[in-house]
Chain A
Amino acid sequence: MKQDKKSQIPGIDLTFADGGTGRIWGTSGLDDLRGNSFSKAAHYLQQRARQDQAFEWTVVLDLDQVISSAAIPLLGLMRTLKQIVAEKADRRYVRVEWRIKPGDDSMRSLANGVREQLGSIDGFSIDIVEVRKSGVARV
């Protein structure tokens, strides 16, 4: 799935072709008002997990903006990832790297809220990292 440069739908690449790392980036806004892109990604990942059985995935979440009405499906996507790991915790590992920009209070709060809501289990974690001009730092 590719993102049109100017549309308000996130780009999603969860093929894990790059050493087990997938990416979600861009804006989930007017063209993704119901967060359908996140719901589709969750469905795809469930199928992929059934196919692959054992894996180590890193999902880099690098979103510029998420409209509130799309945030619930985004939470659903994170919950799906956790469930996928819980089904076979000895053979599956998923790390979500949620990138936020310093000063983006809304995204920071959303990321913290999702992490607190889901908690962590063996094999699943959400790491919130701040993207600065000098590099990234874990929050």
Chain B
Amino acid sequence: MTIHRRRIKEMVARYGIGAHLDADHDVLVSAVRADLVDGEQLEVVLDELEQRLRDAEVEDRTIYAVRNIVLELAGNIRLHGISSRSEPELLVVNRRGADVQVWLFGQGPRQEVNRLSDIIRDIKAIAIPPHHREVLLERRNQGLMRRAEPSKVYGGGVGMLTVAALSSEPLWFKLGRAREVSSFALRSTVQVASA
């Protein structure tokens, strides 16, 4: 499976994250928009990711968490992202010491990206690791129950609550260019326990 090293290096340089992501050494999988908006393609990515984690003897809880985080982020791109030939979205999963990190380098209308930033800030105000998982999943469930009747409001906050709940550290978010279209980097970290 292709690892998009050149694009990853561009993102590392843009967001100054060289201490956390090394395109040549610790990337498990990477995926671009075409992989992230199509169910069959995403299944290929998820299967490859799971295999690599199992090869490293990562236990089930971490694998389920990482799979769910990738699925929620892909859904976010499908629902809110915009296609751009010059800067396609990029998802990267890397292993850094005791952590698996899921990176999303995305873009969207400035209003949508600002909303995402607000959601992440609000989630941090609800609970932060290590005593966060139950609280955030319960808040996610409450959000779902409130919206139990079909409406135009889907995912969004509840998806990001799921991502934050399954992460072991607070979500890291950095805004890139902010014009009509804003770019951003988001990182979810899941601490690994050995099988």
Contacts and interface: CB of A to CB of B under 8 A. Distances in A.
Interface of A: 4, 6-9, 27, 29-31, 33-34, 39, 65, 67-69, 71-73, 75-76, 79, 101-107, 109-110, 112-114, 117
Interface string B39-69: 1101110000000000000011100110110
Contacts of A39: 150
A39 to B, nearest CB: 7
A113 to B, nearest CB: 3
A105 B74 CA distance: 19
A30 B74 contact: yes
Contacts of A65: 67-68, 71
A61 to B, nearest CB: 16
B144 A68 contact: yes
Interface of B: 37-40, 42-44, 59-61, 64-65, 67-68, 71-72, 74-75, 78-79, 133-134, 137-138, 140-142, 144-145, 147-148, 150, 154-155, 158-159, 161-162, 165-166
A33 B38 CA distance: 11
Contacts of A71: 144, 158
B65 A109 contact: no
Contact of B64 (A29, A33, A101): A101
Identify the 6 closest CB pairs spanning chains A and B, nearest first.
Answer: A113-B141, A8-B39, A103-B61, A69-B155, A31-B39, A109-B137
* Secondary structure call for the A interface: helix
Contacts of B166: 105-106
B75 A33 contact: yes
Nearest to B67: A65
B78 A72 contact: no
Given A33-B75, A101-B60, A106-B64, A8 B43 contact: yes
Question: In the complex, which of the residues A65, A76, A102, A114 has the most CB atoms of chain B within 10 Å of its own CB atom?
Answer: A65
B19 to A, nearest CB: 29
B155 A67 contact: yes
Contact of B148 (A7, A30, A72, A107): A72
A106 B144 CA distance: 13
Contacts of B138: 109, 113
